[in-house]
Structures are given as C-alpha cells and as structure tokens.
Amino acid sequence: MHFDWSTLILQTVNVLVLLWLLRRFLFRPIVGIIAERKAAAEKLLAEAAATCEQAKAQADQAAQRDKALAADREQILADARAAAETERAALLNGATAEAARARDLAQASLDQQREQMRHELEAGARQLAVAIASRLLERVPAPALNAAVLESLNALSPDHVQALAAPGEALEVVTSAPLDPAIQAMVRQRLSGLSALHFSTDPSLILGIELRGTHATLRNNWRADLDRIAEELSQDDKQLSVA
Amino acid sequence: MIGSPLTLNVVFHVGPVAITTPVVATWGIMLLLAGGSCLLTRRLSVHPSARQAALEVVVEAIEAQIRDTMRAEPRPYLPLIGTLFLFIFTANWSSLVPGVEPPTAHIETDAALALIVFVAVAYFGIRNRGLRGYVATFAEPNILMIPLNLVETITRTFSLVVRLFGNVMSGVFVVGIVLSLVGLLVPVPLMALDLLTGAVQAYIFSILAMVFIAGVLGDAPATKSERKE
C-alpha cells in the first residue's frame, strides 16, 4: 500500500483554498444578498406598519374631528332652535300685543262709534222731541205758554235767582218763544231785585225758561229736563258697562 | 479505473513535488466551482434572477440542514460544510467527464477532507468552549471514558476516510471492470448508481462533519464571532 503524503498535503491545501474561494465568491455574497433582501423586507414591513399606524392615527383624528363637528353641529342646531324659539316667542308676543292693540283699537273705535251713534240718536231723539214738542206747542195757546213760563219762573228758588248776577249786572231771560209785553212785565216784577233784564228766544228750550247770568245759568225748561234725563241714562249705561 | 485504487498517476513534477491526477482533477473542480461562483454572483440583486434563485436555494438548503442537524446558527459553519458538500458532490460526479477519475476515489483526497474535519472539530470546540472546556469533553460522561473518547476521535476520522474512499473507489472500480468486460451500454446503470452513491456520500460526509462539530459545541453560549456573523 502506497500513501502519497505530498498529495495529501496538496489536496488539503487545495480544499482549504477552495473553502476560502467559495466563502469569498459564493457563500458570503449569497448570504449577504439574502440578508439584504431580508432587511429590505423588514424595512418594507416596518414602513408598512408605520404607514398603518399613521393611517390609524389619521383615522382616529378624523373620527375625533367628526365627533367634534357633530358636537358643533348639535350645538349650532341647539342654538338655532333656541334662537328660533326666542324669535317665535318674540313674534308671538309681538303678534299677541299687536292683536291686543288692534283689538283695543277696534274696541275703542267701536265704543267711539257706539258713543257717537248714541249721541246721534240722542240728538236725533232730542230733535225729534223738540220737533214733537214744537208741534205740540204750536197747538198750545199763547196764554198757556206764558202761564207755563211764569210757572217755571215761580218754581225757581229766589235765592238761586239772586245769586245769578250781582247787583247792577245784566241778566238774560231766554224762552222758547217771544214773550208778550205783559208777560215780560210780570217777569220784570218777579225779578225785581235785578237791575237789567234782556229777553231773548231759543226754540231748543221747547218750553220753560232759562236765566243766564254772568256767574251761572238757571234752567227750568224741557230742554234742560231732556238733557238731565239723557245724562242720567248715560250714567246708567256706564255703570252697566263697568259692572 | 481497473488498476490498483491505491496507485497514483503522476501528471508532472513541480521541483521535487509530484503532481498527481487527483490534484489536477481537484484544481479543475476548484476552477469550476470558484469560477462558476464568481460568474454567478457577479450581478446579485434583491430581485433575483432564475440562476441567483437557484444558488440561493442551494445555500439556504445547506443552511437549513446545518440548523436542523447542529441546532445552532448556521452562518459560522456554512463555508466549511458547504465547501465539503459541494466539493465532494462535484468530485464524485466528475466521473461523468470521460477520462476523469474522481479525486475522492483516492484515499489522499479523502484523508485531506477528514483531516480538515478533524481540525475543524478541534477549532470549533476550542472556540466555543475554550481549550480547557474542549479538553474536558474527552472526560465526558466520566473520566474513565478518556481513552475511549480519544480512540473514538481518531477512529471516526478514519471512518470518514474509509467510508468515502471505499464507496467512491468501489463504484469507479466496478464501472471500470464492467466497462472493460462487456462493452459500452452495460455500465450505464452502474454509473447511475455510482452517481447516486456519490451524492449520498457527499451528504453523509457533510452530515457526519456537522455531527462531529456539534458534538463539541455542547450548550456553550455562542462566541463573539458567532454572534457577529
């Protein structure tokens, strides 16, 4: 058996050299490129994870923004509802006040019209009464009229008559029709305490007499009676309306 | 090969050193493997081509085998184990080239490979455990085992040599004898079987090298260089 030691040494060196060559030109480059690819993949995965985290954070921010916007929207809607409610209440109050004012105005106008109508009716009634009284008085003889005047004069209180005018002042005697001179003399005699008398006529008196002094007027005629009746009627109406 | 498998043909001399056929064949294999690696790894890219992908598959397969067999990070052992596997595989299959005898069919080549494994076992053992720790492995499981462990260290190295040499040499020898006896096509099945045997022997040699190295690593923590790689 022959064993070649030089071949053993050469083969050992050859294998060691081959080991170095393959390590230099095969294993190291391949392992390096695999590691590089792995690092690139890990980097991509890390970037993807970072992008995912970033997207998640952005999604969270967007959700928070949406939530804030929803809250703002609800607040704005609530404010708008409150403002609308306030405005509606103000409009309602305004409309109610306006309606009350219009109703008051209408009521006042109606009352005014009613008062005016009443006055007109009263005036018409007075005119009618005057006309009726005038018609009736036309049929009454003059002596009766004069007697009525004298009777009205006599019905006046002497104290009241004296208080109408101071001594020396003129007193106006008004009747519905001119008085005869005899009647005028009787009137002068009746009012003898007074200095000056002036006689005049006012058909609206209907019947009776009216003494007009500087300080007061003394009335005893149908017109005064009708006015008094009308005044009492109007007082009764007011009491009824107040009640 | 129909002559004695222990005889070597001298191709030429370099001074007093005779350059035999296994050495020349080994140079050819070195040129093929190193040149091919250099050519194939010139334009490596993160996006691999088909050839690069094939290379990566081979390297990753060797790494996976190291990881599964040694239960350790494969990077420190990849050049040695990968070189052993690729060289033995290529050497065994070099019989396909007419006129070329596999270098592994000569015992000097197998002895060189086994010698490298023997040194590598000691190197990695000392590197991982330290000199005292490595020497202490011979006293495992007890001190009475020291002689047996020493004998085992030597004999397992010889078993590497004899196993590879016997399988490859016998295959080549049988094919040579049959070819000289019966003609052209009859040795083809034997040659195919020889190729299968060559691949299996490359795998077995690499696995045994890994087992021997892993045996001295133990549970010691990885060294700085290991962690670095």
At B224 the pLDDT is 46
Distance from CA of B151 to the nearest CA of A (A): 22
B106: which residues sit within 8 A by CB, 6+ positions away? A7, B5, B6, B8, B20, B21, B22, B165, B169
| Chain A residues within an 8 Å CB radius of B27 | 14
User: Domain A142-242 maps to which CATH number in 2.30.30, 3.30.2320, 1.10.490, 3.30.9?
Assistant: 3.30.2320
At A112 the pLDDT is 84
Please state whether B152 falls in left (phi above 0), alpha (psi between -120 and 50) or beta. alpha
Is there a contact between B23 and A26 if contact means CB atoms under 8 Å apart? no
Give the chain B residue whose CA is nearest to the CA of A21. Answer: B34
At B147 the pLDDT is 92
Q: Of the ranges A200-214, B21-35, B143-157, which one carries the lowest mean pLDDT score?
A: A200-214
Q: How confident is the model at residue B86 (pLDDT cuts 50, 70, 90)?
A: very high
| Chain B residues within an 8 Å CB radius of A32 | 44
Give the chain B residue whose CA is nearest to the CA of A23. Answer: B79
At B112 the pLDDT is 96
Name the interface residues of A facing B (CB cutoff 8 Å): 1-12, 14-19, 21-23, 25-27, 29-34, 36-37, 40
At A240 the pLDDT is 62
Distance, in Å, from the CA atom of B212 to the CA atom of B125, rounded to the nearest integer, reads 10
Q: Which residue among A9, A18, A40 sits closest to B33, beta carbon to beta carbon?
A: A18
B10: which residues sit within 8 A by CB, 6+ positions away? B18, B19, B20
CB proximity B25 to A under 8 Å = no
DSSP character for B222?
Answer: P
Per-residue pLDDT at A152 exceeds 90: no
At A51 the pLDDT is 93
Is there a contact between B83 and A18 if contact means CB atoms under 8 Å apart? yes
Per-residue pLDDT at B227 exceeds 60: no
- Mutation target to probe the B interface, by most B beta carbons within 10 A, among A1, A3, A4 is A4
Per-residue pLDDT at B179 exceeds 90: no
Per-residue pLDDT at B222 exceeds 60: no
Q: How confident is the model at residue B21 (pLDDT cuts 50, 70, 90)?
A: very high
Per-residue pLDDT at B25 exceeds 70: yes
- Percentage of chain A exceeding pLDDT 70: 91
Distance from CA of A39 to the nearest CA of B (A): 10
CA angle B96/B99/B101 to nearest 5° reads 70
Q: Coil, strand or helix: which one is A171?
A: strand
Average pLDDT, rounded, for chain A:
83
> Mean per-residue pLDDT for B117-127?
94
> Mean per-residue pLDDT for A95-110?
87
CA atoms within 13 A on the CB side of A182: 4
Is there a contact between A18 and B52 if contact means CB atoms under 8 Å apart? no
CA distances to A194, B63, B79, B81 from B74, rounded to whole Å, are 159, 6, 9, 9
At A171 the pLDDT is 82
CB proximity B198 to A under 8 Å = no
Q: Coil, strand or helix: which one is B44?
A: coil
Is there a contact between A2 and B33 if contact means CB atoms under 8 Å apart? no
Is there a contact between A22 and B113 if contact means CB atoms under 8 Å apart? no
Is there a contact between B112 and A33 if contact means CB atoms under 8 Å apart? no
At A78 the pLDDT is 94
| Chain B residues within an 8 Å CB radius of A30 | 41, 44, 55-56, 59
Cis status of the peptide bond prior to B141, with omega within 30 of 0: yes
User: Domain residue spans in chain A?
Assistant: 142-242
Distance, in Å, from the CA atom of B115 to the CA atom of B158, rounded to the nearest integer, reads 9
CA distances to A27, A76, A85, A87, A228 from A81, rounded to whole Å, are 78, 8, 6, 10, 63
Nearest to B194 by CA among B89, B117, B119: B89
**A17-53 residue pLDDT tens:** 999 999 999 999 999 999 999 999 999 999 999 999 9
Sign of the Cα torsion A140, A142, A144, A148 reads positive
At A62 the pLDDT is 95
Between β-strands B17-20 and B10-14, what pairing exists: parallel, antiparallel or unpaired?
antiparallel
Per-residue pLDDT at B223 exceeds 60: no
**ipTM at complex level:** 0.91
Residue B106 CA to its chain's centroid (Å): 13
Q: How confident is the model at residue A243 (pLDDT cuts 50, 70, 90)?
A: low
Give the chain A residue whose CA is nearest to the CA of B120. Answer: A16
Q: Which residue among B60, B86, B103 sits closest to A22, beta carbon to beta carbon?
A: B86
Is there a contact between A30 and B83 if contact means CB atoms under 8 Å apart? no
Q: How confident is the model at residue A142 (pLDDT cuts 50, 70, 90)?
A: low
At B120 the pLDDT is 96
- Mutation target to probe the A interface, by most A beta carbons within 10 A, among B10, B14, B23, B206 is B23
At A237 the pLDDT is 62
Q: Coil, strand or helix: which one is B10?
A: strand
Greater model confidence, B225 or A62: A62
At B7 the pLDDT is 77
At B80 the pLDDT is 96
Is there a contact between A31 and B59 if contact means CB atoms under 8 Å apart? yes
**B73-82 residue pLDDT tens:** 999 999 999 9
Give the chain A residue whose CA is nearest to the CA of B37. Answer: A26
Q: Of the ranges A42-51, B12-21, B158-167, which one carries the lowest mean pLDDT score?
A: B12-21
**A158-181 residue pLDDT tens:** 777 777 777 777 888 888 888 888
Average pLDDT, rounded, for chain B:
88
Is there a contact between A14 and B23 if contact means CB atoms under 8 Å apart? yes
Q: Are A44 and B46 a contacting pair, CB within 8 Å?
A: no
Per-residue pLDDT at A65 exceeds 90: yes
Between β-strands A170-175 and A196-201, what pairing exists: parallel, antiparallel or unpaired?
parallel
Per-residue pLDDT at A64 exceeds 90: yes
> Mean per-residue pLDDT for B46-65?
91
Which residue type, as a one-letter code, is found at position B41? T
> Mean per-residue pLDDT for B42-59?
89
> Mean per-residue pLDDT for B27-44?
93
- Mutation target to probe the A interface, by most A beta carbons within 10 A, among B17, B24, B26, B87 is B26
Residue with tokens 């050519």, as numbered in its chain? B39
Distance from CA of B187 to the nearest CA of A (A): 28
- Mutation target to probe the B interface, by most B beta carbons within 10 A, among A6, A9, A13, A15 is A15
